[in-house]
Structure 1
């Protein structure tokens, strides 16, 4: 796609994604066992803003259901979806590889180890936030461990970082298997449910805990956009243009840990959003990271709000695991992307 064409499609794409997200939020908020028409959802939002325009929910518990259950869940889906997608943008940019995604550097598996450990140990020092805090710290520590282990001679090679991440992921999976084996039936059920991914536990305090961490990661991503554009020219040219490549990689690793760690802390493992969304956005809007970060954030939010809506409504009186749905879509997409990349490069040798 030419530069002029991507310039023309980049910003209109942001508008389309923003409108799509707004419409999807109205639909998702009104969908469920207690149905609320979109016009009443909008009326309730405007009422909270002090604007008396549009009908309020006709059901006696409609307004309470929206603001106590539905909106916190949707807000968490927006934040987690945006965080995972932007994390994918950062990793694909710093690796120079469209196959890169957050799980590569171990943040998801590290978060799972942290969560599983406190579940098995029965720790509840922070109440309902204990598992989330352990997951975030586990993801952050694992990410930093992968980064430090991959350094040699004062610099980090991308291939070493990827291979170290694979090794740490394998070890983490073994730890999770052991914790699942020694857990009692109740803890084992909680571990499995957490690993499958869900927004069922979304609350206003949970959203309040996630937003600052995710916002910090998003701000870092926006400020690093130009340097990632220069890095795309090659490591040597980027350094000649004033980019400290090693410092950039460290900042990206920290930002990814913030974004993914805060997301999986309350939502569990939700795979492939960080792979699928950035790649599709890049195909439409081009490689410029400033637009790519913003559009991927909106695209990730759209995908996760839509996936959660499907998870809640596809089966009556039941909720499908969110991570299962994203994997069912993301797995085949990854296979297609793998073959497409291999064909373009004429093989991997």
Structure 2
């Protein structure tokens, strides 16, 4: 039931997003434009009832950013859920392990020093490489006698995240004034530059991550009970953590490379999913993925409208909405069942 409601919510948000903007397009017309591009020879696409400007506004600008928001929200929620399993810590998310900060360094290097500073890589690719480098550093420093230690991963992630943030701050302070806005807008997150082409990488990463995680939900359930219990059930704990860490890193890097740094999604949404359907990953992960997509689509819609015509970075809204909501969740009696006070 929850999955169905969220699925319908995503479809509704796409139609609403397609109708909101400076070019006036009704809800029905926005839906007709999308269907007309997906299904050939629809009569309303050529009978003059829709203008070229309306078609371009919906299909080339509003729909891609709605889809990118959905992919980013779904991916960040899944990455957060994965990391919470890896370190058995309900506060884990991409930012905690320094992955997002590493991606930020790669992107800011391109913005401030040019692509030559990172071997000619474009901004998105540099952010992706930065996320992978950060994940590799966390994995290397967290190994103790050949085993990935959850506590060491958290401590390494916090330390490396602070280091990467310091590098980003230095680059921002020493760059030319016209670059500062671009840096801040990227670090706070935005899907305003979305295009159909920019959807490919995060979509593929999300699909691969869903397959990898979907095949390991039972092992992830076992890992929550502790390393010894999971090992007794036949789970190779060290290998499982390594696979999940690589998966989360690739997923986060691919998303940050096209949408910038968007916080709180990976922290809040998995907890909400656990409250709704329980801690079993076979039920929780689909709800988290769809819930993350719905949440970020709504945040993107608000980012375009609350201060129109100025666009508010989406990361600001996720923090403004997410922080109070998370504190409210912690006050609920059901918070204990969701693992918030462990």
Question: What is the TM-score when the length of structure 1 is the normalising length?
Answer: 0.89
Deviations 1:249-273 (A, max 9, x none): 1111111111111111111110000
Q: C-alpha distance in 1, partners of 2:53/2:102?
A: 40
Q: C-alpha distance in 1, partners of 2:167/2:117?
A: 22
Q: How far did residue 246 of structure 1 move?
A: 0.6
Measured on the aligned residues, the alpha-carbon RMSD in Å equals 2.5
Residue 104 of structure 1, aligned match among 84, 92, 96: 96
Residue 76 of structure 1, aligned match among 68, 77, 80: 68
Aligned to 1:182: 174
Aligned to 1:286: 278
Residue 25 of structure 1, aligned match among 9, 14, 37: 14
Q: C-alpha distance in 1, partners of 2:29/2:160?
A: 49
Aligned to 1:9: none
8 Å CA contact 2:86, 2:245 repeated in 1 = no
**Equivalent residues in 2 for 1:22-171, closer than 5 Å:** 22-50=11-39, 58-123=50-115, 130-171=122-163
Residue 295 of structure 1, aligned match among 270, 287, 292: 287
Stretch of structure 1 that moved more, 274-283 or 330-339:
330-339
Q: C-alpha distance in 2, partners of 1:145/1:280?
A: 30
8 Å CA contact 1:83, 1:260 repeated in 2 = yes
Q: C-alpha distance in 1, partners of 2:42/2:283?
A: 34
Structure 2 portions without partners, runs of 5+:
none
Question: What is the TM-score when the length of structure 2 is the normalising length?
Answer: 0.91
Q: How far did residue 211 of structure 1 move?
A: 1.9
Aligned to 2:324: 332
Aligned to 1:276: 268
8 Å CA contact 2:110, 2:117 repeated in 1 = no
Aligned to 2:194: 202
Stretch of structure 1 that moved more, 140-149 or 37-46:
37-46
Q: C-alpha distance in 2, partners of 1:124/1:69?
A: 30
Stretch of structure 1 that moved more, 45-54 or 285-294:
45-54
Deviations 1:18-63 (A, max 9, x none): 0111111111111111121121122222222336668556334111
8 Å CA contact 1:89, 1:278 repeated in 2 = yes
Deviations 1:48-101 (A, max 9, x none): 233666855633411122111111111111111100000111112222232221
8 Å CA contact 1:110, 1:135 repeated in 2 = yes
Q: C-alpha distance in 2, partners of 1:162/1:13?
A: 32
Q: How far did residue 125 of structure 1 move?
A: 9.6
Stretch of structure 1 that moved more, 177-186 or 43-52:
43-52
Task: Say how many residue pairs are matched.
Answer: 336
Aligned to 1:7: none
Matching of residue 250 in structure 1 with residue 239 in structure 2: no
Matching of residue 14 in structure 1 with residue 6 in structure 2: no
Deviations 1:169-211 (A, max 9, x none): 1111111111112111122221111112111111122112332
Residue 314 of structure 2, aligned match among 312, 319, 322: 322
Q: Secondary structure at the match of 2:308?
A: coil
Q: C-alpha distance in 1, partners of 2:316/2:269?
A: 17
8 Å CA contact 1:272, 1:327 repeated in 2 = yes
Stretch of structure 1 that moved more, 209-218 or 146-155:
209-218
